Structure 1
Amino acid sequence: MMARRRGLEGTVRLDVRVSAEGIPIAVKLKESAGHDSLDEAAVTAVWHWRFVPARRGGEAVEASVVVPVRFRLSADDAG
């Protein structure tokens, strides 16, 4: 991975709209990690995630959530 080789780390915050079925239906960048490659990797990953849907009155409903995606190198990755 290019980001790993370049030693990039950071946290991306995404606004995610989640369907009543727990599937992302919109993913938008809320706060960048400062590196386009990390931002793009976070957005791509979250499109594949499944969420526990929000509930209102005991029924699953569509809702928005802010999702932080943290990229951190371990000691093994650092060099």
Structure 2
Amino acid sequence: MLNEDVPFRYPVSLYLQRIEGNVTLRLFLDADGRVVSDSTRVVQPSGHTALDSAAVAGAAQLRFRPARRAGTPIPVSLLYPVHFRHPDGRMPAGDTL
């Protein structure tokens, strides 16, 4: 990933309630390392629609170093986890962050 800042925005209403969650996205990247418009899919939802939507919205701003095969940039598909954590929240069961 080439982004200096993470583009995911925690939904304010869920942040205030200290609701946390993990979302796993399937991203399709073009040969330039950009997320293909309207291709992002939620593979594993968080259980909160607002968190899932925030993850999908932020994914459009991600930038990656292009994948290469034999030195030639190629499009790829990858799984990308997004973790929404409140600084005062409890660590969810099974979480390793």
Fold match by TM threshold 0.5: yes
- Deviation for aligned residue 1:24: 0.4
Matched length: 76
Other structure's SS at 1:34 match:
coil
- Residue 35 of structure 2, aligned match among 7, 14, 24: 24
Runs of 4+ in 1 over 2 A off after TM superposition: none
The match for 2:8 is: none
**Residue segments in structure 2 that go unaligned for 5+ positions in a row:** 1-11, 90-97
The match for 1:35 is: 48
**Residue segments in structure 1 that go unaligned for 5+ positions in a row:** none
**1:60 corresponds to 2:73:** yes
| Structure (1 or 2) with the greater strand fraction | 1
Other structure's SS at 2:40 match:
strand
The match for 1:74 is: 87
Deviations 1:11-36 (A, max 9, x none): 10000000011110120110001100
- Deviation for aligned residue 1:38: 0.3
Q: What is the distance in 1 between the residues matched to 2:24 and 2:30? A: 19
> In the alignment, residue 68 of structure 2 is paired with which amino acid?
R
Task: Give identity over the alignment, percent.
Answer: 33
